[in-house]
Amino acid sequence: MAKRTGQSSAIRYSEAFKLQLVAEVERGDLSFEEVRRKYGVRGVGRVNAWVRKYGNGSRGKIIRVETPEEIDQNKKLKERVKHLERLLADSNIDLALERAYTKMACQRAGIEDVEAFKKKAAGKLGTKL
């Protein structure tokens, strides 16, 4: 079969070749792009993908170092967020129940317009419901 004009053939790289390039990148001598150009690898992100797949994790990952105080503070903040989320959920349930009770009370009292009743009641109490 004849090759079409302008069509490039696919290049397959061996596992050994990929591992060799990954090791070179992880040694820190050259960047992803420099290794790609040095060995003529096609595809801009290919070497980077190989390092993510075959690498030991020393390259391309962010390592965060925290002091014990920062770890403790993060733990306390996460606990506070969980606590506040529970309080918010409880408040939403309370509000839903209050609205349901108000609607039931208005129905039993024969009041058609619940919103008008709430406005009228709020004016008498001096606060909004």
- pLDDT per position as a tens digit, 1-27: 555 565 667 888 999 999 898 888 888
Q: Are residues 43 and 76 in the same domain?
A: no
Looking at the chain, the whole-number percentage of residues with pLDDT higher than 90 is: 30
Q: Are residues 118 and 72 in the same domain?
A: yes
Q: Are residues 90 and 114 in the same domain?
A: yes
Name the domain count of the chain. Answer: 2
CA atoms of 95 and 88, how far apart (whole Å): 10
Q: Is 0.85 surpassed by the pTM of this model?
A: no
In 3D, which of 7, 17, 55 has the Cα closest to residue 38? 17
Q: Are residues 34 and 79 in the same domain?
A: no
List the domain range (segments joined by +) for residue 82.
68-125
Q: Are residues 81 and 45 in the same domain?
A: no
Q: Are residues 74 and 42 in the same domain?
A: no
Q: Are residues 47 and 76 in the same domain?
A: no
